Structure 1
Amino acid sequence: MDLLIAWLVTAISLLIIAQLPIGVEIDNFGKALVAAIVFGILNAVIKPILVVLTIPLTILTLGLFLFVVNAIVFGLAAALVQGFRLRYGFWSAIFGSVFLSIVNSLLLNIVKSAT
């Protein structure tokens, strides 16, 4: 049940950030659902590998390189899902991943406090 809620909240979060002027574009709710699944799978599989491979850069930048790792995962999801685009490339991925984290956290807190 928690996985289903997280999936729906992530899809809604993606639709919300698509309304911001940061260059993230999603065609419809169906595409947002697919993008949320792909994003979740990439976060579970690819992100840990990238984090381990970039430990020296992460330490050197005091953790700021994790923003780049998150943007890479966000960009990969956009590349894999038709109907999910990043108009300004890497910068849209950076801002999209940051705003997705913020909006997703806020919505998950609202949903968890309502249950």
Structure 2
Amino acid sequence: MTRHRIYTMSFASVYPHYVAKAEKKGRTKEEVDRIIAWLTGYDRDGLQTVMDAKTDFETFFAEAPALNPTRSMVKGVVCGVRVEDVEEPLMREIRILDKLVDELARGKAMDKILRTPERGAD
């Protein structure tokens, strides 16, 4: 099986593109960071360490402090690929991150992006 090039790319080389995509649509770097923290458990310092070390995507996800167990709720199409149909685990994680940033750029509310349960639905 051929390894995807994205696996060996540094997270730091792609991160500015996530931020630019969000900011282009009026969202913020802080919102992108919040999405990353929700998905991976990296706090601000941890994220900075990953970027300073030029950590590749494979290591970024392998060493994530706390992958969110509800990330499987992220469904839909990003870049023409249905996230829930991606079989390779690392590529699925990358596509989930892409999908979350895409939802942010499309103006979706943060509580919806982070799959926060609705309150008062009793």
TM-score by length of 2: 0.34
TM-score by length of 1: 0.35
Does 1 or 2 have the higher relative contact order (CA < 8 Å, sep 6+)? Answer: 1
